[in-house]
């Protein structure tokens, strides 16, 4: 297994067996509390949109979800630097029952994959050229609660707005297209049928302070006006899923 793990370019860092941890560039376990994934998901159905290596899918299963469906298209298809090999190896190593479907966000439909009690839409929205349609498609398969994590910008504006990056202005990544502001995200979620939308968390204060100290350029100032934020949206006004 160690040889198989070394042969894969991982995004998620996760433990597959005692002494075997993937060499991912992103450590999602540190962010579980920040995104607000419930401690127990007993009996719930969960959809993980943009699952990549599948850490959050497997974590939902570990927390008791009755069914978990992991979906991806860009990363699994090899158009970026990732593939589906990490997800498939992790599923085997963890003896997981998580299901998978190669499907574009824009093709999510209730009549093809059903609806889910909890939908995870983490770190995907700002990579999409058409974020309006993306939220509508994700909302169409959310039966209860949506947890959305994304890059945000223009936070000083009260009116809905989104910052656009035509090339590599956001983190030198050409797949980063948008940084909508919180008002835009709340407005789109409400327009898509969610009755309660709350800002669950922001980038930790220590990270924002360190960014201010470490980068005093004009680009650094603009970057500090952006950050990652998590939103919880529920179909019911009381927030119940």
Alpha helices of the chain — where are they, by DSSP H?
2-6, 32-35, 55-62, 74-77, 85-93, 110-113, 131-140, 182-191, 205-214, 218-224
Q: Which two tokens stand for residue 2?
A: 């160690």
Position 89 pLDDT exceeds 60: yes
Task: Band the pLDDT of 203: cuts 50, 70, 90.
Answer: low
CA-nearest of 130, 120, 104 to 231 is 120
pLDDT one-digit tens code per residue, 214-238:
444 444 444 555 689 999 999 988 7
Structural domains for the chain: 30-234 (3.40.50.150)
pLDDT of residue 147: 98
**pLDDT, position 211:** 43
Distances, alpha carbon 188 to alpha carbons 56, 133, 191, 194, 195, in Å: 24, 10, 5, 9, 11
Residue 152 in contact with residue 229, Cβ under 8 Å?
A: yes
Nearest to 98 by CA among 106, 87, 109: 87
Query: Does the global pTM surpass 0.85?
Result: yes
Residue 209 has pLDDT above 50, yes or no: no
Using alpha carbons, select from 103, 31, 30 the residue that is nearest to residue 69.
Answer: 103
Contact assessment for residue 161 and residue 232, using Cβ atoms and an 8 Å cutoff = no
d(CA 56, CA 13): 11
φ, ψ (nearest 5 deg) of residue 62: -60, -30
Phi and psi torsions of 231, nearest 5°: -120, 135
Contacts (Cβ under 8 Å, ≥6 apart) of 157: 181, 183
């Amino acid at each position: 297994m160690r040889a198989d793990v070394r042969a894969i370019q991982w995004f998620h860092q996760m433990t597959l067996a005692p002494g075997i941890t993937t060499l991912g560039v992103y450590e999602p376990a540190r962010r579980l509390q920040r995104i607000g994934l419930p401690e127990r998901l007993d009996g719930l159905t969960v959809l993980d949109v943009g699952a990549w290596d599948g850490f959050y899918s497997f974590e939902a299963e570990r927390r008791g979800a009755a069914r978990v469906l992991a979906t991806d298209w860009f990363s699994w298809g090899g158009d970026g630097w990732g593939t589906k090999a990490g997800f498939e190896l992790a599923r085997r190593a963890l003896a997981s029952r998580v299901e998978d479907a190669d499907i574009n966000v824009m093709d999510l439909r209730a009549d093809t994959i059903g609806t889910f009690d909890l939908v995870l839409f983490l770190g995907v929205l700002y990579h999409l050229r058409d974020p309006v349609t993306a939220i509508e498609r994700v909302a169409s398969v959310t039966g209860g609660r949506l947890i959305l994590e994304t890059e945000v910008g223009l936070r000083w504006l009260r009116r809905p707005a989104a910052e656009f990056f035509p090339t590599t202005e956001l983190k030198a990544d050409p797949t980063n297209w948008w940084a909508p502001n919180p008002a835009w995200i709340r407005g789109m979620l409400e327009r898509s049928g969610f009755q309660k939308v709350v800002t669950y968390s922001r980038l930790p204060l220590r990270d924002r302070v360190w960014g201010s100290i470490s980068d005093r350029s004009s680009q650094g100032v603009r970057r500090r006006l952006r950050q990652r934020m998590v939103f919880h949206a529920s179909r019911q006004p009381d927030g119940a899923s």
